[in-house]
């Protein structure tokens, strides 16, 4: 039994050991050769390294994988089993394309190719993976159209190549994530009894581990584009080569989760750079580079590195652990099979929280700046166009929403969706509410400046419309009267809430971007920290002024003081009431306040008391006021 087990393990162990040994020996040699030919990353604005470090060390990794697999074939006479459904020459073709992508990266390491030229080369190799090597997604989806399969394959391969290229910004990060992904994919193949397809995985894992010895912080050599692009190519192509019909989790699911960190970072980079490109186009005064393909220092690893105070090992391990979690979810899904959907939901939920927390200070803030620029564009033609589109937008949205609410209410009340319901009840209800909306001048209301009375009118329009619709249905011959009363109430309330939410969206979005702005400003040292005295209408007016000028803010409200002791500990507009005036010196000291804004009405005598209390703190005191004065000629 032990002998049998050894015979099963021996091929994987020998290939792993061979690739490890070859890469371990070659990496220092390649490092010194690259240093001599000038392939060195020097310290700079975007560079984390503080001394010159050779790049292009990924060449040792490529050679290690190639020689170990060649040795395996020469000694055993067996070609690594990939998939019985693919042509025997496919492995050689993939090998050639892997060398091609590594060569492209090596040339870029040496001569710094233009980004567009490098992208064209990546797309060409990705296309040849589909056209020449014969790989694609048709193994999992046999009925997929040829054009769609081609586009999906090119996007998958080129996307992975760029993902690992972009994530390679910390010592040991790209090679460590690739090692986790490779072992995860190998594990999923073992779980479905396809161990024969893992020889290449073990060869790749051995080289990655050996290179990580020199690339882990403090790194003595970098992968360079040669190594990072080869890693992305290999990790994306291996799943395509082991596809079988019905193996979605193994062929797509686990690899997708295994590459979750690089894919997430690349997606954010595309969104972020596109937003900044649009911002720069609209604002000639912007000093940032607005080119979509220009590198920046807001990648996922850069942000985590800043959060852990430039500790590269901590930053790398945070991303390692997140990658391990995603791989664990994928492997658990393979084991549980029928219960996999629940695990994916959990993974997506956790990832969503992390994603929102991470993107809020950069991508969402840039999106807010862009929206703010559009909203405050003083161009008359632009504003006239927006005004013309506002009413049609509300009309189209309301009609679609009323139709959707009808189906939701029918489903909730378990009313059968008969032909009569669709031909009679649906149009009558939608038409009745829409007529009431028009009759109560809902479409003549400036919702950006709406008051509570406007929303009451909207509610009444929905209630009256729902009641009229029910009355019409009641008297229509052949109409179904089941749950008529319940449907009347449910349709009125649900439609009112739905229509009100879109009209509240502008203010909600504005408040969200203000909260994001506050979060961003907390990390800056040049921002004035404001304590507001008063929590009433004037405070809300003052806060609104800050909200309306998000992109030009240099002040942040850090707390409120109010003489009503019952307000202490309450939150108003997301800002906490810290205490009363008598406690203000301690609050100012604790919150490191720069200025106090008085945002409440007070008598001159009390203003003197306030100034006397605040004077020892040395902070600047200003008065925010709005008042009515008679104008005399």
Q: Is residue 44 part of a domain?
A: yes
DSSP code of residue 290: -
Q: Does the CA dihedral 258-262-266-272 come out positive or negative?
A: positive
Q: Is residue 294 part of a domain?
A: no
Q: Do 19 and 79 fall within a single domain?
A: yes
Average pLDDT, the chain: 80
Q: How far, in whole angstroms, is CA 99 from its chain's centroid?
A: 32
Q: Is residue 300 part of a domain?
A: no
Residue at a domain's end among 467, 490, 512? 512
Q: Do 431 and 508 fall within a single domain?
A: yes
Which pLDDT value is given to residue 134? 87
pLDDT at 221 over 90: yes
Which pLDDT value is given to residue 3? 63
How many whole angstroms separate alpha carbon 342 and alpha carbon 351? Answer: 14
Q: Is residue 189 part of a domain?
A: yes
pLDDT at 334 over 80: no
Q: Do 90 and 133 fall within a single domain?
A: yes
Which pLDDT value is given to residue 369? 58
pLDDT at 570 over 70: yes
User: 383 vs 485, which has greater pLDDT?
Assistant: 485
How many whole angstroms separate alpha carbon 303 and alpha carbon 16? Answer: 34
Q: pLDDT tens, 174-212? A: 999 999 999 988 888 877 766 667 888 999 999 999 999
Which pLDDT value is given to residue 561? 92
Q: Do 435 and 506 fall within a single domain?
A: yes
pLDDT at 146 over 60: yes
pLDDT at 361 over 90: no
How many whole angstroms separate alpha carbon 27 and alpha carbon 34? Answer: 10
pLDDT at 517 over 70: no
Q: Do 497 and 536 fall within a single domain?
A: no
Q: Do 33 and 174 fall within a single domain?
A: yes
Domain of residue 107, residue span: 2-269
Which pLDDT value is given to residue 547? 61
Q: Is residue 606 part of a domain?
A: yes
| Gyration radius (Cα) of the chain, Å | 32
Confidence of residue 462 (pLDDT cuts 50, 70, 90): very high
CATH number at residue 567: 3.40.50.720
Average pLDDT over residues 565-576: 81
Confidence of residue 493 (pLDDT cuts 50, 70, 90): very high
Which pLDDT value is given to residue 196? 65
User: 260 vs 131, which has greater pLDDT?
Assistant: 131
Average pLDDT over residues 571-592: 87
Residue at a domain's end among 477, 492, 512? 512
Q: How many residues does the chain have?
A: 633
pLDDT at 371 over 60: no
Q: pLDDT tens, 524-533? A: 667 888 999 9
User: 393 vs 518, which has greater pLDDT?
Assistant: 393
Which pLDDT value is given to residue 277? 67
Q: Do 501 and 539 fall within a single domain?
A: no
Which pLDDT value is given to residue 157? 94
Q: Do 246 and 105 fall within a single domain?
A: yes
Q: For residue 551, how many C-alpha atoms fall within 13 Å in the half-sphere facing its CB?
A: 15
Which pLDDT value is given to residue 458? 92
| pTM of the predicted model as reported, rounded to 2 decimal places | 0.65
- Of the candidates 62, 135, 66, the one whose C-alpha atom is nearest the C-alpha of residue 105 is 62
What backbone phi and psi angles, to 5 degrees, belong to 496?
A: -65, -45
Q: Is residue 83 part of a domain?
A: yes
Q: For residue 320, how many C-alpha atoms fall within 13 Å in the half-sphere facing its CB?
A: 16
Q: Do 71 and 185 fall within a single domain?
A: yes
Total tally of structural domains belonging to the chain: 3
Tokens of 166: 């972009």
3-state SS track over 34-53: HHHCCCEECCCCCCCCCCCE
Q: Is residue 8 part of a domain?
A: yes
Q: Do 463 and 386 fall within a single domain?
A: yes
User: 246 vs 169, which has greater pLDDT?
Assistant: 169
Q: pLDDT tens, 49-83? A: 668 889 999 999 999 999 998 898 888 777 665 55
pLDDT at 155 over 90: yes
Q: Is residue 305 part of a domain?
A: no
Q: Do 595 and 462 fall within a single domain?
A: no
pLDDT at 279 over 90: no
Confidence of residue 240 (pLDDT cuts 50, 70, 90): confident
**Beta-carbon neighbour count of residue 322 at 10 Å?**
20
Q: pLDDT tens, 208-217? A: 999 999 999 8
Q: Do 446 and 536 fall within a single domain?
A: no
Average pLDDT over residues 109-130: 92
Residue at a domain's end among 208, 241, 269? 269
How many whole angstroms separate alpha carbon 67 and alpha carbon 334? Answer: 32
């Amino acid at each position: 039994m032990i002998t049998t087990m050894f015979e099963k393990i021996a091929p994987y162990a020998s290939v792993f050991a061979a690739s490890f040994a070859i890469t371990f020996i070659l990496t220092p040699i390649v490092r010194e050769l690259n240093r001599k030919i000038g392939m060195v990353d020097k310290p700079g604005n975007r560079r984390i390294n503080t001394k010159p470090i050779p790049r292009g060390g990924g060449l040792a990794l490529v050679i290690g994988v190639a020689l170990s697999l060649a040795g395996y074939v020469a000694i055993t006479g067996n070609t690594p089993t990939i998939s019985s459904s693919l042509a025997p020459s496919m492995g050689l073709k993939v090998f050639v394309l892997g060398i091609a992508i590594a060569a492209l990266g090596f040339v870029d390491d040496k001569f710094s190719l233009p980004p567009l030229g490098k992208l064209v080369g990546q797309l060409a190799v990705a296309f040849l993976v589909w056209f020449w090597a014969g790989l694609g997604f048709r193994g999992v989806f046999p009925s997929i159209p040829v054009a769609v399969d081609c586009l999906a394959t090119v996007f998958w391969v080129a996307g992975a190549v760029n993902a690992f290229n972009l994530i390679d910004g910390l010592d040991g990060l790209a090679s460590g994530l690739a090692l986790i992904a490779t072992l995860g994919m190998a594990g999923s193949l073992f779980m479905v009894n396809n161990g024969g397809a893992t020889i290449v995985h073990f060869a790749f894992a051995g080289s990655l581990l050996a290179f990580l010895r020199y690339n882990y912080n403090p790194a003595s050599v970098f992968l360079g584009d040669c190594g990072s692009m080869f890693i992305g190519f290999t990790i994306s192509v291996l799943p395509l080569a082991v596809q079988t019909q019905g193996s979605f989790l193994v062929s797509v699911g686990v690899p997708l989760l295994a590459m979750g960190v690089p894919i997430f970072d690349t997606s954010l980079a595309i969104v972020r750079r596109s937003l900044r490109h649009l911002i720069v186009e609209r604002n000639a005064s912007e000093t940032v580079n607005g080119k979509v393909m220009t590198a920046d220092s807001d990648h996922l690893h850069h942000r985590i590195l800043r959060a852990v105070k430039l500790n590269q090992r901590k930053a790398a391990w945070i991303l390692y652990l997140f990658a391990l979690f995603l791989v664990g979810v994928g492997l658990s899904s393979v084991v549980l099979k029928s219960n996999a959907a629940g695990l994916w939901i959990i993974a997506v939920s956790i990832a969503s929280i992390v994603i929102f927390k991470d993107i809020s200070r950069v991508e969402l803030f840039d999106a807010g700046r862009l929206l703010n620029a559009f909203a405050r564009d003083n161009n008359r033609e632009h504003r006239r166009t927006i005004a013309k589109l506002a009413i049609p937008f509300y009309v189209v949205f309301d009609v679609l929403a009323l139709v959707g609410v009808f189906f939701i209410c029918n489903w909730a009340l378990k009313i059968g969706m008969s032909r009569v319901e669709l031909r009679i009840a649906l149009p009558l209800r939608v038409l009745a509410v829409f007529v009431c909306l028009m009759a109560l001048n809902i479409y003549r209301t400036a919702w950006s400046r709406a008051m509570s009375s406007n929303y009451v009118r909207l509610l009444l329009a929905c209630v009256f419309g729902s009641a009229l619709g029910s009355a019409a249905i009641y008297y229509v011959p052949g109409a179904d009267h089941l749950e008529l009363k319940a449907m009347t109430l449910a349709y009125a309330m649900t439609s009112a809430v739905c229509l009100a939410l879109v009209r509240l969206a502008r203010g909600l979005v504005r408040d969200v971007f203000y909260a994001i702005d506050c979060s961003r400003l907390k990390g800056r040292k040049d921002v004035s920290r404001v304590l507001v005295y008063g929590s009433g209408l004037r405070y809300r007016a003052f806060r609104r002024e800050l909200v309306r000028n998000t992109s030009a803010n240099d002040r942040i409200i850090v707390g409120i003081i109010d003489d009503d002791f019952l307000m202490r500990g309450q939150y108003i507009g997301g800002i906490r009431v810290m205490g009363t005036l008598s406690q203000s010196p301690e609050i100012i000291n604790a919150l490191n306040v720069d200025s106090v804004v008085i945002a409440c009405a007070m008598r001159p005598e009390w203003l003197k008391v306030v100034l006397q209390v605040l004077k020892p703190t040395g902070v600047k005191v200003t008065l925010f006021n709005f008042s009515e004065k008679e104008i005399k000629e």
